[in-house]
Every structure is written in C-alpha cells, then in structure tokens.
Structure 1
Amino acid sequence: MNKNKLFLLDAYALIYRSYYAFIRNPRVNSKGQNTSAVFGFVNTLEEVLRKEDPSHIAVAFDPPGPTFRHVEFEAYKAQREATPEDIKWSVPVIKEIIRAYNIPVLEVEGYEADDVIGTLAKRADKERFDVYMMTPDKDYGQLTEPHIFIYKPRYGSNEFELMDDRRVTEKYGLSHPGQVIDLLGLMGDTSDNIPGCPGVGEKTAVKLLQDFGSIDNLLKHTDQLKGALKKKVEEHTEQIRISRMLATIKTDVPIEVDEDLFMRQQINDEALRTIFEDLEFRTLLSRVLKEDTPPPASKVPVQGDLFSLFNAPVTPDSSDAVALPTGFTDLGSTPHDYRMTTTEQERKELAALLSAQKEVCFDSETTGVDPLESELVGLSFAFREGEAYYVPISADREHATNEIAIFKPFFENRDIVKIGQNIKYDILQLRQYGIQVKGKLFDTMIAHYLLNPEQRHGMDYMAESYLQYRTIHIEELIGPRGKNQKSMREVDPSVVKDYAAEDADITLKLKNILEEEIIHNLVGHLFHLVEAPLIYVLADMEWTGVRLDLEALKELSWQYSAELESIEHEIAAMAGMPFNVNSPKQIGEVLFDRLRIADKPKKTKTGQYKTSEEELEKLRNRHPIIEKILEQRGLKKLLGTYVDAFPLLVSDRSGKVHTSFNQTVAATGRLSSTNPNLQNIPIRDERGREMRKVFIPDEGCLFLSSDYSQIELRIMAHLSGDSNMVEAFAKGQDIHAATAAKIYKIPLEEVTGDMRRKAKTANFGIIYGISPFGLSERLNIPRGEAKELIDEYFVTFPGVKQYMDNSILQAREKGYVETLLGRKRYLPDINSRNATVRGYAERNAINAPIQGSAADIIKMAMIRIFKRFEEEQLRSKMILQVHDELNFNVFPDELEKVRQIVTYEMEKAYNLDVPLVIDLGVGKNWLEAH
C-alpha cells in the first residue's frame, strides 16, 4: 500500500443515501428543518475520518446545469423525480460543513462528480496514491485498479465494502473492470435513465460479454445470436452504443491533483460549532468537538455500602458488538453501571438514596399495556447518566405491595421532580399499589411532542435521533407480537435488568437534552404550566372512569340491528335486486352499471368504482338509494364501533370504561382518546345523539356537562381583532345571526333560519380555509352564490381576511405558526410547488393557531378545575373531555359548588378580547346534561 491515502467522496450519492435512510423517521429540528441528509452525511464523513484517517480528501458535487451527457442524450436522467425540497435545502448546508472541515469542494462545469472523481483517481494513482472512491454507485467499478478502490457504505451498518479491480471482476463475472461500461451499456441503469437493450438483464449481459468480450464485438457478430435476443440487439444497436457512452466515466476532465489542497487539515472548530448549534446537532457537538461530554459514570462507592451490594460496572466488550448504523452506539459499546436490588436492605438503601435527590427518572416494567389491569414486574431508577438501578417486584400481590411501599416516601415527595417517558402510565400503575405520585413531572415524550409534533415520540426513536444510540427492543426479551409472545414476568430478572435500567438511563439523558430544547424554542411555559400538570389531571380521569348503562346499550343493540336489517331490505328493493350492501364493489356496480346515477363515475387504480362516503355525499341528490346506503353505513359503524363494542371494554375491577387520553397524537394540541375513542361519538344525527344516553353518573350522582360556546370563533375574533366580530361577541349576540345580518345587509330580527344556517357554515368553514366549491357542496348552492357569500363575508369581516393572509405569510417566513401560548405547528409544505400540497399547508396555517389555542385554553381550564376540586376536597370528579366540552360525575350536595367552580374556571382560563362563555347542563346522563 502507498503512504498517501486519497478519499474522493461522491457527494450527491451519499446525500441521497442519507436522506432516504431516514425517510420513515426523518430528523426534523425545532425549526421544522429536515436535517436527515445533513446528519447522515456528517456521520458518514466522521466515520471515514475516524476509521481510515486519510492523508488527503476531497468531495465532488454535480454542478448546476446540463453536462455533456445531457447534450448527447436529452433523456439522460429525465425520468428522475424532482429533487426533494429537503435535499435542495441540505446541499448548501453540507457544502458549508465540508468547508468548515477544511475539505475542498470540487465542481467542474459540464461534468458530473463521477467524471471528476474518475479523472482524479487515475491521475492520483500515477502519483502513487491509494485512492478510495466513496460511493454506493456500481458504475465506479470501471475505474478500479490495484490501488483504486470503491469504498462503498453498507446499508444499515457502520461497515464499508472495499472493492478493487479483482473484487469487481469476481462480483460481476467479468474479465476486467473496463467491461463494467459494456455491462451497463447492455443492461442499462434505471436510476440514470441509461436505457440499455430492452429485455437484457444483468445475467444476459454478463453472458454476452463472456461470449463476445465487448459491445463492439457483439454488434459485429449478431448473426451468432438466436431468437428474440438476436432481434432485440439488432433493433437497438444505436441505443446500446448511446447507453455505453452514457455509462462511461470520463477520465480527462480539466482538473489536476492538488496534493496541498487535498491534504487533510485541522477543522475550523468555531465555524463547525456555529453550524451544529444552528442545526441542533448536540450529540455531534459532543462527539466531533468534544464539547459538553457527560462525565463518566462514577465508579466510587457512595452512600455507605449501597453500591458494594450490587454488580460491578460494565465496560464495553468489542466481542459483543453488533452491526449498527454509521456513528451509532448501543449498550454493548457504551460504558454503563446498571445494578439490581434483590434484598429488602438493598431496597431500603436505594429508597433513601432516591429521596436525597432533586430529580429522579423512573420507569415501570409490567405484565401488559393496560396500567389499570396489568401488574408490576419491576421498577427502574436513574439520577446520574450512565448509572441505573433495577428493582424486581414479586408476583405475589401482598409481597409486591410491601416491596413497593418502601419507595412510597420517594414517590410522594413533592420536592423531587419525577422524570419519565409516558409517565402517566407509570403513575396509574403505581396507584394500583396505593402510591400517589406527587411533585413536578418531566415527560420526555411530551417534551419531544412540543418540539416536533408531527414526529414519533417513542424512546427508541428519540434515542436514535438525539443520542445516536440503539436501545434494547422489548421484542428481544418477550418475542414478537402474537399468541406466543411472553409476559415480562416470564423473563429472567437478570435479563430484564439491562432493558429496564437502560430505559431509565436513556430517558434521563433525553430529558437533559430536551429540557434545554424546550427553553431554547420558547415552549417551556407551555410545557411546565400546561402539559406537565395536565398529566395528573388525565391520570385521575382515567383512574375514575365512566359508568355505562349496559341495559340501555343492550336495548340499542336490538333496536339498531332491527333497523339495519330493515334499511338493507329497502336498499335491495331500490336496486331491484338483492346484493351485498357491505361490498364496495357490488355497491359500485349497482349504482353505476345498473342504476347509472353518474355519467362518468370515478374509479380506483384497480378499476373499481369509488364508493367512499365522500364520493357518495357528492351524489346524495342523484337517487334516494344513496341516502339509504349512507344511513346503513352510519348505523353499522355505530353498532360495531360503539353499541356492541362498549360492553366488552367495561373493566371487571370497576364496572366502568377507562379511556386513555393521549397528549402526543394530534399535532394541533388537542387531546385524543383510545380504548375506547370517545372523541368521535357521532352527534349529527338522532341515533348518534342517543348514544350519549348510555353514559351515566355513579349511583346517586348527577352528570354535568360544560361546553365552550363557539370558542374557535371567539379566538378568531381575538386573533384577527376584527371590530365587527369583536362587537358581536361583546354584545352577546347570536354570532351566526349577526354574521347573516351583516352579510345580507338586513336588520338582525329579519334574519331567516336559512340565512343563519348559511352564515354558520361560512363562519366555521372559513376558519378551515373552505373554498367556494367546498361551501357550495356543503350548502348545496351554486358555486357562484358560494363565492359571493365568501366575498361578502370578507367585506363584512376584513380583519379575518387580514389575519388569514398574515398567518400564511408568517408560515412562509418562519416555517411554522403559533397558538396563543406559543405551541408551534410546523408546515414544511408551505412553500411547496405542488398547489394541492401547498394549499393544505396554507389551510393549516390559518386553522392551527385557532384550533390549537382552543386546545390550550381547555387544558388550562382542566388544570384549574382539578386544582380547585382538590383544594375544596370535593368528591365530584372530572371524567371526560371531548374537544371543547368537559363532563363531570357530581355528588348532588356538591352540585352548586361544582357549577360555580366549573363556570368560573372555564370562563377565566384565558383573557381574550371577547368573553369566553360556556353552556352548562345537568342530567341523569350525558344526553340530558348536554
């Protein structure tokens, strides 16, 4: 080997590879920038510099504009999709980073990076360099020689495949590397739109080259070919020659090997620091610039003999290393000190140690995913990075309760901050064992959600994104999902120890990063005063649960089943034939082939008629059968999703349903609920409303429902400052009637029901950026009338139009919009060239601040009410939240107190320029109260 090692990197090949490596879970920073390509490229570069220590290095880019290949063959690379906007943004950033590394950026007009690298490789080889062409592209094989290598990154690994001329010829079955040109000329290359010869794949191309040696010789002896292959080669002779030309990498580009320029230099620390800080690459700052590196875990015994009771610290063993993505680590390659307590004395000493801390991260291992039905298997704790403790818990309930009780003073200490990932689950789990967690909370899942609402928030994903760390996955312990999956109770505690302790340790590390991020991104107020305190509120609501009238559900099931059967008979009669009304295919055939209710019905890609609810709504007035089909679908969904499903979700322990409220699902900030989903109970039709009758209070109690009145319109009035809208709310007018009066220019008392209906639809529709077409569809009026209605609306409320325009402008400038409390909604598509995609982002720019502010306000109201109930020591409970509505189980002797608290705290939750008003009702069930 030669003394000098020259690495030549094909920039775009590596950038695209990095971008698509993260395509399912892109890295997006708090500014909404997709940094996947940049992060992947830097990691790859770092890996090369660390592993290979090149003496010389350069990075080649394709120049803007056409190259000689485009001139020769217009279709060259023509079918490639447009470069993703995120890659376009990444390229200048990557160039800036490369220059901060003091590595030359190479571009030669008219030539691709392949040609620049090919030329330099051949010339550097003559100057006694070992040359490493870093690329995943196979066409570089033609350049290989004993001292010219392809240095190819392996997908999903931090390893690289090294290929010299011998390896290339062996891999493709060729006699020399130059035949790679002819190989690609025959088989083509779809990524570069090199057509090759139709019908000739790699195997056929290799066989032809083994038989004829080259394309030139093949084309001279096509008479020796037979059948279809002979015909294809002869018919595409010119195309084969063009393909060979396109596949040939030039080695005579006007560029020289500048040994001084390419020599490895010291990096520009200050420039790199500025770039990494701006991109929020904190782990790269630590790894590359050796800044803010956490101190190693203490190896000195502390707190008496506590540490001596446990296992010795673990240091990485390279023999256990598993292939990881470039730049990633895992438990086997990371120093750590994870310990397990096995005796009562150890538990007591650990509990005392925890109680002496200011903040502690904890996690629970359980037998299932439902915290109200599963049992604790173990608890893990961490308060210093790199150290963690695991406490196995007995399967015997009495013993388990005693073991956990040792930690009760710690958990219920209000002065200790409790850290966790989805900590509400752990709070509910501990409540089963008589422990009420207290103190401030830091939930990493919620913190990440505030920073990146559109992303995933699981610990495994965050560990990879922020720490470049691959965690132990639970499937490694209990197996894949399915009937053969084990319970955590069945896994040996010594095996669970590393998994559980790692969870606590990694969550603590993430907390230390995310805490700075939420401050830096100005969402600390939202996190600490709204989202974190709300965890306790939601945990209590879930624990309390909601009572269902099972007899009423049974009656509804019988009633709706009979109605469903009757409707299906009516549909068959209208169709003039029996058919399966649950089959979209058969519905399409009946509607469009038999009844011919549309001239040009839409079809799916498979040729089947489109019969979705959205499509059928557009055809509702074409035939009475449509109305019945929609009614049948709604009733069937009501039965399957709610009426027949709810009884199965009633807990044996409590006799109630315990929905799970989610804080990190809806990007708008709204809560969602699962198991069951109580947010989507239909209320538009009579049957849906009837469903609310089955939600009842506890025996001897009342059901109280309190709903914000038109909160989103009130927020619009506040944000827009429109004087007409503010005045209407300030006077307590019916906003829809007032809107109609303004639009139609008539006195308020002359507004008809139809006018009010249209104004109401316009009021709510415009918040969601409705178009004239959409409004005409919704109101069943001509599009011209809908356009006039919208135009007149904006004349009436000019401040609303100004707000909408400003919101879109802000989103274009900043990449996000904000709620009243600073909740950010990132809109990466706001500047998209695709009008449909951009339009969707623009509508979100208008609506997200309104819907998100409404979500923030009701969350603040929930926290205030919960606190007041605790202070007043009320037995009544908040039990449900559905969008802008709160529901309560109320003891009769507390009714007036609850009514007073709920009204005051909801209406005073936030000070808008217009009053917040609620509608409050009380009854024997949800329907009566609502």
Structure 2
Amino acid sequence: MATKKTLGGGTPLTKNSHLYLVDGSAYLFRAYHALPPLTRKSDGLPVGAVSGFCNMLQKLVLASKERGDRDAPTHFAVIFDAKGDTFRNEIYSDYKANRDAPPEDMVPQFPLVRDATRAFSLPSIEMTGFEADDLIATYAKQAATLGAEVTIVSSDKDLMQLVDDKIEMLDPMKDKVIDSDGVVEKFGVTPDKVVEVQALAGDSSDNVPGVPGIGIKTAALLINEFGDLENLLANAESIKQKKRRENLIEFAEQARISRRLVLLDQDVPVDVPLDDMAVVEPDAKKLIGFLKDMEFNTLTRRMAEMLDADADAIEAAGDHKSEAKPKAAPSVEAGEAGGTPGAMDPAYADNPPIEETEYDCVTTIEALDEWIAEAYATGLIGLDTETTSLDPMSGSLVGISLATKPGRACYIPLTHGMASEGTLALDDPAPEQIPVKDAIARLKPLLEDSGVMKVLQNAKYDLVILKRAGIDVYPIDDTMLISYALDTGLHSHGMDALSQRFLEHTPIPFKEVAGTGKAQITFDKVSLDKATRYAAEDADVTLRLYHVLKPRLVGERMMTVYETLERPMVGVLQQMEMAGIKLDPAILKRMSSDFAQKLAGLEAEIHELAGEEFNIGSPKQLGEILFDKMGIEGGKKTKTGAWGTGADVLETLAAQGHDLPIRVLEWRQLSKLKSTYTDALPDFINEETGRVHTSYSLASTTTGRLSSSDPNLQNIPIRTEEGRKIRTAFVADDGNVLISADYSQIELRVLAHMAGIDTLRQAFADGLDIHAMTASEMFNEPIEGMDPMIRRKAKAINFGIIYGISAFGLANQLSIPRGEAAEYIDKYFERFPGIRAYMDETKAYAREHGFVSTLFGRKTHLPEIASKNGAQRSFTERAAINAPIQGSAADIIRRAMIRMPEALEKAKLPAKMLLQVHDELIFEVPEKQADKTIKVVREVMEGAAAPAVNLSVPLVVDANAALSWAEAH
C-alpha cells in the first residue's frame, strides 16, 4: 500500500498559494448542454451534468496534484448561486426576467453537484441575496491582495472584469486560459473597462438593457475613445452618428443602471474564510461511496487507485447515499452514466492509465518482427498512420503505429528526415529507422491477414494512405463509425472527443508536437521521441475506444446498422476517392473570364442604381445605400446597430420589385461561383493523377448523408444556368463517358411509404408527375395544360413539407403573402391527412424515446426535443420529422453503393464509381459499354431497399451517359 498524500490541507493562504474558484452553477449549465442526457441505470436519475462536474473536480484538484503541476491549487472552493432574488432585482425589477426555467431533467442535478463538491472534501459556498459571481469577486480580490495567484474556473464574460496580473480565468470545457489579452480579444478593451462596455452593450441573457443600437464592438470603440461611461455620456452631444447620439442621450440613465447591474460586488460579507479552502485529501469512503452511488464506474476505480483506498473502505463505501432525492427520468441509450463503458471487455479495467503508459519506438527489423508476432498472437490491433498532409492522395507516409492491447503500443518511423533531438534542418542526418520497403514488406502480410482485426479511427484516410504504399488492409473496424452508429446526434465522433468522453483522457494535440501557423512543421520533421508518444498514443486510444464502444453495438441493437450501412462504406469510398474525376481547367478558365465580365457589368449597373460607387461586398456600405440613402422600407438592424443585408432581406426587397437588391443578389451569386469554383477548383487537381479527389465524410451529418470536402462537390449550385455550367468542366477521359444515375424524388417516395399516403403511393405506382398530381389535388386544376407556376407551387410544398417548412418560409420561397402560404399548407394536410398524422406520431415518438429511426434502423438522437426553449424545440421537432425520411433515403443510396462494385464486377464491366452527390451517383466507363452499365446501375439502385425493406412505392432512377457531368445529368 502506497503512503497517502496530503494535498496541502491546513495551510493558510499566503502569497505562495494558488486559489481556484469554480463557478459551480455556470459550469453545471455548460456541462448539461455539452454532454448527452445520461441517466443512472438503476432508477433513471439524470446524472450527465453531475458526471462532467465530478470529472472536472478530479482533474483540477486531484489529478494536477498527483502530477505535481506547477499551477495545481493549494486552495479551492466551488461557488453556487443561491435561490431567490439578489440585490440586483432591487436595482432593476426585470433583471433576468426573461430567463426560462431550467430543463426538468436538470433540476434534480442541482443538489447532486453540491453533494459531489462535499464528497471531494471541498467547500460548497452560496449566499442568499448575492450571485455566485459576487462571491467569486470578493474571494478573488481578497486572495490577490494577499499576493496569491487566483484562477477562476469559468468562461462567464461577467467575470472577465476581475482579470489582472494575479487573477486569470480557466474555461474547463475548452481547457483554455483567459488572461488580459484574452479579455481584450473578447471585449476590445482591457479588463478594467469591461464593465463600461457591458453597460452600453447590455446583455440579453440577463435582461441587462444597455443602450439600443450599441453592441460590443461599438461600445469598445466608444470607451476606448472617451475612457469611461460617465465621460461618454457627458460628451454624447459630440457623437457624429445621429441615431447613436440620440440613443446615448435618451437612454443615459438606462446605461447607468446597466453598469450597476454588471458591476460585481467585491465586498460581500462572506462567512467562509480563505484559509478554510485549503485543499485536503478527500475521505476515501465518502467520495468513493458517492461515486458508486452515482454509478460512475470508471471514475470510482480511478479515485480508489488515486486515494490508495483499501478493499474494506471501498466495500463500506457502498452504503453511502447522496442527499438528493432521486427523480425518475427517461433513460437514454447512450451507455452508462458519465460516459463509462457498459458491457466492455472485463480485462480492460486492468490496463494502465494512458498518462502512465510507455510506448516503444521501433527502429530495427528484429524489434518489428517481435511486434508483428505479438499482433498475430492477439488477433486484434489498433492501427494508425502518420503522414505529411491531411490529403491522403498527396500526403506521404511518415510512420505507422500499432497497439496490441490497451497500454501496449509502438511507433514505426519510416521517413523521418532529422536527428532524434529537436527540430533540425532538412540537411541534418536522418535518425535510425527501418528502410520503407523492408518495413512495408514485413507489415503487408499482417495488415492483409483476415485472421487479424485492424481497428482504426476514421479508417478511410489510413486505408488510402496504405493502399498507395501497396497494402490492402483487411479486415477493419472503425471506432468513429461505431460511435456514429451508436450516438448520432449526441456528440461528435472524432478521436479526441471520444477519448475525453469515454476514457476521460485528452490526447496530445498535434500542435504540441508540430507547432502552429507558419511555424508548423510536417510530421517527418518531428523528433522521434515526440513522434513516438503522439503516434503510439493514437493507436492505443483507438484500441481502448474499441473495447468501450464495440460491445455496445449488440446490447443496443445497432450491430446490423454498423455492419451493413457503416463499415462496408469505408472500402467503397476509399476506391471512389482514389479514382477521382477529371477536370478540364481550360473550361473553368474561360468561365472565370466570362464571370469576371458579367460581374463588372453588374457592378456598374449597381453603382448606377445606387447613384454612387461603393463596396458591394461590404454589408455595412450596402445597408447604408439601401436604407439610409435610398430610404427603402423594411430594413432591420442587427444587434451591432448595422443594417441587415443577408440573403433573406435582399430576397424580400427583391420580391417587392426593388431593382438594386435584385442585382446585388445576382452579383453575390456570380461572385461566389467565381471564387469558390471556377477560380479555386483547378488548384485541387492532383499533380500525379491529373484528377480531382474529393474527400467524403461518413460521420458528419445526423441523417447518414455523406458530406464532401476539399473540394466540396455536393454544393455546386444547379438551379441557375451559371451554376449548371460548372459541371461542364467535369469530363470523362478519352474514349470514356460519364454516367449520371439519379433517384427520382426518392424522399417523397419514402414519405409516401412511411406515412402510408395511398394517393401518393398510387401516383408513384402509375408513374404520374407527382407535382402536377399534387397541384391538381390541391387547386382543382386539370393536369393537362397545367400552368407551370401552379406546378411550381405544388413542388415547393411537396419538398417543403418534408423539411417542416413554415408559412413564413413558404411565403418567402413563392413570393406570396404569409396568409396565402398558410392556406396552402392547411389545404395540403387536408388533402393528404396521413402526412399530418405521420408528423404528429413522429414527434410524439421522439419526445418519448429521445430518438427517431430510419427504415433500416439507423438512429438519430434528439436530446433537445423536450427543450424549454421554444425555438430550439421547434427546430428539433422539424429535425425529428425529416431525419427518418432523409435518413432512409441516405441509407438506400448507401446500400446501392455497397452493392455496386460486386454487381459491376459480376457483369464484367470496367466502370468506376467516382462521385456521390446526395441522390446521384457518377460513374466513368468506356463509351461502348455505357448502355450495359446503365442497365446494371439502374437495377442495383432501384432494388437497393430490398430485402430489408419492401417499399410500397417503386424506386425510379434516371440515368444518362455523356462526355461531361452537365450533359449526363
């Protein structure tokens, strides 16, 4: 048994002390909204925010002491807001009047965090009549006066007025220190002027009124010019801007009241003295008992080890019960409370903490052979690559890391070009490492062996890199996609986020080993000691996450989703990305020139309409022209006091017949096409292949749709003639053609099936024009000779309904009065009553279960479905309606993509699948085999839902072949 450590208890606070003051209430709210709505398994008690709170305390108080951090606290207290009004309500009765009641599942966590604080043997302090910020201000100034260092654990902007050379702030969610420079970055003034700025700008969250029309930036400019609020108000007559001058004069007293509201009280008659905040080692029985009661298993084990608690103490701790009364809450399928593993490998708990793990740097063939033998023996390894670029088609392989079990990992450097210490110049001697060809020859059989499972995070990237090195990695599991299958909508799925959530560990940041900005180096220039720690940790963390996440697939019935919709896509997209698509830069160059001429013409026309020259790209100048100079009605100012000139504003003005906003919209659209596509796309042509290789993300949407980047080929506008022209530059190689295969109205077909709309089902079965049919149903118009405008209205409603469009949104889209749009929507639901029933049932299901599912079982979690915030709740309800429809459509095209390579191979067709753009697939094939390829492609896509789902409507695919994408679509 190790000797227990005293963490500083009993020492008075002196100039050598370091006081931490945690803004407990603010942190609880942030943890609640940042973490999923986790519950205690035994009774459904909400504990997600409590889990985040406990992990924060463990990290700040105990872990830093154990590591011997220089900035570890010697004194520590958690400050909470007390119930009831404060002195500020006497100053201003509407102070914080617009705040919503806390979410229902947050209420039982208020007393639990106070229990947690006391379980850690820390002071839990609150005072009636004062806010936590006032207590923090009082204690911080007392400690700073004694010469101590003070860290305020909060990101609350109201506390930034306290920052000085002795007082700093720490945002625990971002692990970011906020000093005086950080305050200047936030407010534009030094900390001692923050109150003056807030008095002018106000604060909508606290209902601090401020001065209308003045935001943070304007307030900072004024205070930097006049020094303080009173001097500004005394000289308000000198302000040149008319409206600003008038508001400062009219609302001067309101500004003074606002200043009193935001100014923190630094002389609260506090009861708990600073000396009582000395950090002491927690009572093991009490702390472990609380953590066990909360069912925070991982943290319980960690604290038992840290406190050297013996078995008797741990056993006795089981009798502890928190002081809070449990309150039932709906359970959410997201693993154990606090992000701890559920049915994970029992051996996992015995592995060492990542912080204490030593990793091997493998630089000889003999050592590599030992690791390979160990990998074969385990049959399961974590795998990661290090490269010179985030682009897998241009980056070079620098090294490979392996993990054979949690806590056992190595890094195999291959192309490091510097000495082993420091960051040296290119001509320094390379460190000892295995020749690339020899290492690849040794690793290839292992990484291609079907008897050894390779676990990766975001596997597609590494598979492209290793394929270019001659290795076809198989079989694989992907922790990113396992997490995505389990927890879509609850949190992000990157390795760092998953590690922090499930392992309570923050991996080494890349900038820590490679630097930032212009000083950043590529990984082949990183010293081997740093590279080894960074790279091996990635493989280790990936394997640890696998042990935590993979068992949940079975328990939460998501294995089929992962095995049929997620994992198979990795290999499919790897091949597509490596194939790329040919781009003709000459076509783009000509388009850029044409666009430049049109832009010049539009610019001249806009200036003529405005009566003067101005920067069209400046929202501020445009607003002044439209609303100040031309006096157009309907303008609205933003919080900063500037006129709003967003697309919605300009479209509204354009609908009213104003020429200038019409031309500005045209200018903006054309300017974006030029800068984003015709000018930029040639830079993405790969020098080796001569083709463009977009990168697809499998886990970045909540519906299963893929997203595309570098370049983004899914957002090329096609509703305008200029936008459609962009696609003419995507061409086939000589002798080949491109095939575009596009699902026809797949989301409406899915809706007809899911909602059971017989009228729509029959229309699709009969092959009718669905939009014309809808128009006929709604407006009693015959399909023969129908006015195209009436069909357009029906089309807008058809697609708008899927996305939960409002009367306001439809009115803007069709340029009609809101009342008329509301009538259209009401009539639509009358004609197709099953759609309204589907929407109501879907929202009710989402509220009860916290998620919705596609036809194929993919879940989208919706933690905000019961939000007290009306706007947030409405948004989430619309997402709940849309996710099963759009998600099912996404699943169908995924199933088609997964089946496509085998179908083409079976038909002996050399076609390559190049792109996926929402409901469309692009192929390249020799021209002579286009017709046969179209037949196979159409069969696969139209039959993709079966046999898992037998749709009650047919899927129809439009497919054509041509020399360019534009012609084929």
Structure 1 residue aligned with 2:935: 900
Structure 2 residue aligned with 1:206: none
After superposition, where does 1:748-827 map in structure 2 within 5 Å?
748-749=783-784, 751-827=786-862
Shift in CA distance, 604/90, structure 1 to aligned 2, threshold 3 Å: closer
Determine if contact 1:585/1:609 at 8 Å carries over to the other structure: yes
Determine if contact 1:382/1:508 at 8 Å carries over to the other structure: yes
CA distance in 2, matches of 1:430, 1:273: 42
Shift in CA distance, 748/485, structure 1 to aligned 2, threshold 3 Å: same
Offset at residue 432 of structure 1 (A)? 1.4
| Aligned equivalent of 1:843, options 878, 883, 894 | 878
2:965 corresponds to 1:922: no
Query: What is the SS of the residue equivalent to 1:573?
Result: helix
Q: Which amino acid aligns with 1:760?
A: K
| Aligned equivalent of 2:769, options 725, 729, 734 | 734
Determine if contact 1:718/1:726 at 8 Å carries over to the other structure: yes
CA distance in 2, matches of 1:433, 1:906: 33
CA distance in 2, matches of 1:506, 1:429: 20
Percent identity of equivalent pairs = 36
CA distance in 2, matches of 1:487, 1:452: 33
Query: What is the SS of the residue equivalent to 1:363?
Result: strand
Determine if contact 1:451/1:521 at 8 Å carries over to the other structure: no
Structure 2 residue aligned with 1:408: 444
2:533 corresponds to 1:533: no
Offset at residue 673 of structure 1 (A)? 0.8
Q: Which amino acid aligns with 2:385?
A: S
Q: Deviation digits for residues 87-146 of structure 1, max 9, x if unmatched?
A: x533414646888999799xxxxx9943799xxxxxxxxxxxxxxx999835579999xx
Structure 2 residue aligned with 1:224: none
Q: Deviation digits for residues 388-423 of structure 1, max 9, x if unmatched?
A: 121111369994233212211122223432211111
| Aligned equivalent of 1:82, options 99, 118, 130 | 99
Q: Which amino acid aligns with 2:54?
A: V
Structure 2's unaligned 5+ residue stretches are 1-5, 11-20, 67-76, 156-165, 167-194, 209-252, 273-283, 300-330, 418-432
CA distance in 1, matches of 2:345, 2:745: 51
Determine if contact 2:27/2:154 at 8 Å carries over to the other structure: no
Query: What is the SS of the residue equivalent to 2:108?
Result: helix
After superposition, where does 1:308-327 map in structure 2 within 5 Å?
none
Shift in CA distance, 624/600, structure 1 to aligned 2, threshold 3 Å: closer
Structure 2 residue aligned with 1:457: 493
Query: What is the SS of the residue equivalent to 1:90?
Result: coil
Query: What is the SS of the residue equivalent to 1:829?
Result: coil
Structure 2 residue aligned with 1:16: 25
CA distance in 1, matches of 2:511, 2:266: 51
After superposition, where does 1:196-595 map in structure 2 within 5 Å?
247-248=268-269, 264=286, 267=289, 271-273=293-295, 292=346, 294=348, 296=350, 331=355, 334=356, 336-394=357-415, 399-444=435-480, 447-448=483-484, 450-453=486-489, 455-482=491-518, 484-595=519-630
Determine if contact 2:87/2:129 at 8 Å carries over to the other structure: no
Q: CA RMSD in A?
A: 4.9
Determine if contact 2:388/2:396 at 8 Å carries over to the other structure: yes
Offset at residue 84 of structure 1 (A)? 7.4
CA distance in 2, matches of 1:659, 1:477: 28
| Aligned equivalent of 1:114, options 103, 127, 142 | 127
Determine if contact 1:115/1:249 at 8 Å carries over to the other structure: no
Determine if contact 1:448/1:514 at 8 Å carries over to the other structure: no
Offset at residue 545 of structure 1 (A)? 0.5
Q: Which amino acid aligns with 2:884?
A: P
Determine if contact 1:15/1:40 at 8 Å carries over to the other structure: no
Determine if contact 1:444/1:507 at 8 Å carries over to the other structure: no
Determine if contact 2:697/2:706 at 8 Å carries over to the other structure: yes
Determine if contact 2:752/2:953 at 8 Å carries over to the other structure: yes
Shift in CA distance, 802/373, structure 1 to aligned 2, threshold 3 Å: same
Offset at residue 472 of structure 1 (A)? 1.7
Determine if contact 1:446/1:664 at 8 Å carries over to the other structure: no
Greater shift, 822-831 or 634-643, is seen at 822-831
Q: Deviation digits for residues 245-273 of structure 1, max 9, x if unmatched?
A: 9944589xxxxxxxxxx995983787533
Query: What is the SS of the residue equivalent to 1:137?
Result: helix
Shift in CA distance, 274/459, structure 1 to aligned 2, threshold 3 Å: closer
Query: What is the SS of the residue equivalent to 1:407?
Result: helix
| Aligned equivalent of 1:26, options 14, 24, 34 | 34
Greater shift, 440-449 or 413-422, is seen at 440-449
CA distance in 2, matches of 1:845, 1:91: 25
CA distance in 1, matches of 2:464, 2:484: 22
Query: What is the SS of the residue equivalent to 2:923?
Result: strand
Structure 1 residue aligned with 2:651: 617
Offset at residue 75 of structure 1 (A)? 5.3
Offset at residue 900 of structure 1 (A)? 2.4
| Aligned equivalent of 1:890, options 925, 944, 952 | 925
Question: Highest CA radius of gyration, 1 or 2?
Answer: 1
Q: Deviation digits for residues 807-857 of structure 1, max 9, x if unmatched?
A: 222222223322222333333333334333322222212212211221111
Determine if contact 1:100/1:271 at 8 Å carries over to the other structure: no
Q: Which amino acid aligns with 1:920?
A: A
Determine if contact 1:18/1:36 at 8 Å carries over to the other structure: no
Shift in CA distance, 871/500, structure 1 to aligned 2, threshold 3 Å: farther
Determine if contact 1:59/1:103 at 8 Å carries over to the other structure: no
Shift in CA distance, 354/60, structure 1 to aligned 2, threshold 3 Å: closer
CA distance in 1, matches of 2:264, 2:368: 73
Determine if contact 1:27/1:34 at 8 Å carries over to the other structure: no
Determine if contact 2:297/2:340 at 8 Å carries over to the other structure: no
Greater shift, 344-353 or 487-496, is seen at 344-353
Q: Deviation digits for residues 774-812 of structure 1, max 9, x if unmatched?
A: 222211223332222111111110000111112222222
| Aligned equivalent of 1:601, options 605, 612, 635 | 635
Q: Which amino acid aligns with 2:812?
A: E
Offset at residue 723 of structure 1 (A)? 1.7
Offset at residue 154 of structure 1 (A)? 6.4
| Aligned equivalent of 1:666, options 684, 690, 701 | 701
Structure 2 residue aligned with 1:678: 713
2:700 corresponds to 1:701: no
Offset at residue 872 of structure 1 (A)? 4.6
Offset at residue 59 of structure 1 (A)? 11
Shift in CA distance, 266/606, structure 1 to aligned 2, threshold 3 Å: closer
Structure 1's unaligned 5+ residue stretches are 6-11, 106-110, 118-132, 145-149, 158-167, 169-186, 196-231, 252-261, 298-314, 316-328
Determine if contact 1:286/1:292 at 8 Å carries over to the other structure: no
Offset at residue 633 of structure 1 (A)? 1.3
Query: What is the SS of the residue equivalent to 1:388?
Result: strand
Q: Which amino acid aligns with 1:588?
A: G
With normalisation by structure 2, the TM-score equals 0.71
Q: Which amino acid aligns with 1:416?
A: V
CA distance in 1, matches of 2:833, 2:779: 16
2:687 corresponds to 1:652: yes
Offset at residue 759 of structure 1 (A)? 0.8
Structure 2 residue aligned with 1:212: none
Determine if contact 2:480/2:494 at 8 Å carries over to the other structure: no
| Aligned equivalent of 2:903, options 868, 875, 881 | 868
Shift in CA distance, 750/742, structure 1 to aligned 2, threshold 3 Å: farther
Query: What is the SS of the residue equivalent to 1:471?
Result: coil
Structure 2 residue aligned with 1:254: none
2:43 corresponds to 1:42: no
CA distance in 1, matches of 2:548, 2:931: 46
Query: What is the SS of the residue equivalent to 2:398?
Result: strand
Greater shift, 505-514 or 621-630, is seen at 621-630
CA distance in 2, matches of 1:285, 1:18: 18
With normalisation by structure 1, the TM-score equals 0.74
